[in-house]
């Protein structure tokens, strides 16, 4: 509408009445447009180069229409370009306004693509852009916010989660003894612990700072006790994997040791075992569980493993599940029940596998309590 009026008036005089552009012959229009540049077929004009609304007008919406540049406005040559005339010309009726919108230079790409249902093209454009540019694109207009908003929030959530996960996975896991050796605990307790350790080692050889000392005790007790060879394996592997079943031979071994050293019979050995600061005695299944709970952050929910249908722990935020079956140890994504993919969206379309217990059994409608009450209600009325 704001085409270069002076140039056109000599060649092809346009009249900007209400229905001028609708009644205009398309053939003459095409001839006119092909002179300048390539033809798009749309009602677009090349000579316009001005913003429709700038940010200054948001502060004063009452003056926004006044302050707009006159090039955007349908203008007749007869009238002057004073403010009052602009007010009168601009949108004197709804039809004029409609004409203005139709003939406005309409180059809004994202809304056009969305109107053509070409969302895969929007995807292709936005995959080239980083987050900050998409953030600027959100603020452009309301339509753009509706279109691009999905992509932006999805991307932002994924970025945050990815950073957290990277930090978790990057930290090197260390055994308890390495951490204890590096850490410097409070100064008052340090000598006490050392004293206790020394006492333990001297009296019973029960306290186990290293697996070597454990092997010494086993070597001593294996001669006497018949159950000893069954429980050799967990001792030799790591001290953290001490089993609860292995407690009884320890006590028996202690009893055997007491016979060797009869000087300290006063303290019960089991009480000292509980106070041991570094070594933790838990079942191997539990240790495995605590290990994978480190990798999952945030609240967790018990779900079913898609492979072995065993109970597994699933993170709520990321839907990252780990099977608690120590033989399976399956890392899976709960959304798609495929292998776990930390950074990419789901590509398999099989949904989460629901437990068969959740299926409600079909109850015949006659015998249910609700229908009975409803029938009563209806009959009374």
Partner 1 sequence: MATNVEETYLYSSPTTFKVSSKDGEIFDIDDSFINQSKTIKNMLNVLDIADNHMPIPLQNIKGTMLNAAIVFCKYHKNDLLSIPDDEDEDDFERDAYEPRRSDDISEWDKEFIKQFTVEEGTLFDIIMAANYLDIKALLAVGCKTIANMVRGKNSDQVRQMFNISYDPPGEGLNTPRNSVTSKESGDNQLLTTQEKESRCKTPSPELMYD
Residues in region 294-323 near partner 1 by CB under 8 A: none
Out of 142, 173, 359, 381, the residue judged to bind partner 1 by CB under 8 A: 142
CA 83 to CA 81: how far, in whole Å?
7
13, 15, 37, 377: which one binds partner 1 (CB under 8 A): 37
Cα–Cα distance measured from residue 77 to residue 80, given in angstroms and rounded to the nearest whole number = 8
Residue 220 touching partner 1 (CB under 8 A): no
**Residue where the block lists tokens 């092997």:** 215
Draw the binding track, 101-140, toward partner 1 (x: CB under 8 A; -: no contact).
xx-xxxxxx--xx-xx-x--x--xxxxxxx--x--xxxxx
By CB under 8 A, what part of segment 338-367 binds partner 1? 338-339, 341-345, 347
Residue 205 backbone class (left: φ over 0; alpha: ψ -120 to 50; beta: rest): left
CB of 310 to partner 1, least distance (A): 23
State how far the Cα of 90 lies from the Cα of 329, in Å rounded to an integer.
71
SS (H, E, C) the chain: CCCCHHHHHHHCCCCCCCCHHHHCCHHHHHHHHHHHCCCCCCCCCCCCCCCCCCHHHHCCCCCHHHHCCHHHCCCCCCCCCCHHHHHHHCCCCHHHHHHHHHHCCCCCHHHHHHHCCCHHHHHHHHCCCCHHHHHHHHCCCHHHHHHHHHHHHHHHHHHHHHHHHHHHHHCCCCCHHHHHHHCCCCCCHHHHHHHHHHHHHHHCCCCCCCHHHHHHHHHHHCCCCCCHHHHHHHHHHCHHHCCCCCHHHHHHHHHHHHHHCCCCCCCCHHHHHHHCCCCCCCCHHHHHHHHHHHHCCCCEEEEECCCCCCEEEEECCCCEEEECCCCCCCEEECCCCCECCCCCCCCCCCCCCCCHHHCCCCCCCCCCHHHHHHHHHHHHC
Which is nearer to partner 1, 26 or 370 (by Cβ)? 26
What is the smallest separation between the CB atom of 135 and partner 1, expressed in angstroms? Answer: 9
User: For partner 1, which residue of 90, 304, 320, 335 counts as binding (CB under 8 A)?
Assistant: 90
Q: Does 164 bind partner 1 (CB under 8 A)?
A: no
User: Total number of residues binding partner 1 (CB under 8 A)?
Assistant: 73
Residue that is written with structure tokens 């004029």 in the block: 96
| 178 near partner 1 (CB under 8 A) | no
Pick the binder of partner 1 from 14, 16, 144, 177 (CB under 8 A). 144
Site for partner 1 in 61-80 (CB under 8 A): 61, 64-65
> For the chain, how many residues are written?
381
Part in contact with partner 1 (CB under 8 A); list of ranges 9-17, 49-57, 75-83, 320-328: 49-57
**Minimal distance, residue 344 CB to partner 1, in Å:** 4
Stretch that binds partner 1, among 48-56, 167-175, 222-230, 291-299 (CB under 8 A): 48-56
CB-nearer residue toward partner 1: 129 or 353: 129
Kindly state whether residue 15 participates in binding partner 1, applying the rule CB under 8 A: no
Query: CB-wise, 104 or 289, nearer to partner 1?
Result: 104
Nearer to partner 1, 7 or 178 (CB): 7
Shortest distance, CB of residue 156 to partner 1, whole angstroms? 9
- Least CB distance to partner 1 at residue 142 (A): 6
For residue 35, state whether it binds partner 1 (rule: CB under 8 A): no
When the beta carbons of 23 and 265 are compared against partner 1, the nearer one is 23
Report the nearest approach of partner 1 to the CB of residue 287 (Å). 28
Which of residues 125 and 301 has its CB atom nearest to partner 1 in the complex?
Answer: 125
């Amino acid at each position: 509408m704001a085409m270069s009026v002076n140039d056109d008036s000599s060649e092809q005089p346009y009249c900007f009445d209400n229905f001028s552009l609708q009644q205009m012959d398309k053939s003459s229009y095409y001839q006119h447009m092909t002179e300048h540049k390539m033809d798009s077929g749309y009602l677009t004009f090349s000579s316009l180069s001005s913003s429709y609304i700038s940010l200054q007008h948001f502060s004063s919406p009452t003056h926004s229409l006044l302050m707009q540049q006159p090039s955007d406005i349908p203008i007749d040559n007869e009238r002057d370009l004073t403010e009052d005339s602009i007010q009168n010309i601009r949108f004197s009726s709804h039809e004029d306004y409609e004409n203005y919108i139709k003939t406005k230079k309409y180059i809004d790409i994202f809304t056009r693509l969305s109107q053509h249902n070409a969302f895969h093209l929007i995807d292709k454009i936005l995959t080239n852009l980083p987050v900050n540019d998409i953030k600027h694109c959100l603020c452009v207009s309301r339509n753009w916010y509706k279109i691009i908003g999905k992509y932006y929030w999805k991307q932002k959530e994924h970025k945050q989660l990815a950073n957290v996960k990277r930090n978790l996975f990057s930290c090197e896991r260390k055994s308890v003894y390495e951490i204890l050796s590096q850490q410097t605990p409070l100064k008052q307790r340090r000598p006490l612990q050392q004293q206790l350790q020394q006492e333990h080692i001297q009296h019973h050889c029960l306290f186990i700072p290293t697996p070597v000392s454990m092997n010494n005790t086993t070597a001593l007790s294996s001669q006497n006790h018949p159950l000893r060879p069954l429980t050799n394996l967990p001792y030799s592997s790591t001290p953290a994997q001490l089993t609860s079943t292995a407690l009884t031979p320890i006590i028996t071994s202690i009893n055997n040791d007491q016979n060797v050293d009869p000087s300290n019979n006063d303290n019960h050995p089991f009480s000292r075992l509980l106070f041991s600061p570094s070594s933790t005695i838990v079942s191997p299944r539990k240790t495995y569980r605590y290990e994978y709970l480190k990798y999952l952050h945030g609240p967790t929910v018990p779900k079913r493993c898609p492979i072995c249908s065993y109970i597994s722990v699933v993170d709520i935020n990321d839907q990252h599940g780990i099977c608690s079956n120590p033989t399976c140890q399956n890392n899976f994504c709960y959304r798609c029940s495929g292998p776990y993919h930390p950074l990419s969206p789901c590509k398999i379309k099989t949904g989460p596998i629901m437990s068969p217990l959740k299926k409600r059994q079909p109850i015949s409608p006659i015998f249910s309590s609700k229908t009975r009450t409803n029938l009563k209600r209806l009959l009374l009325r």
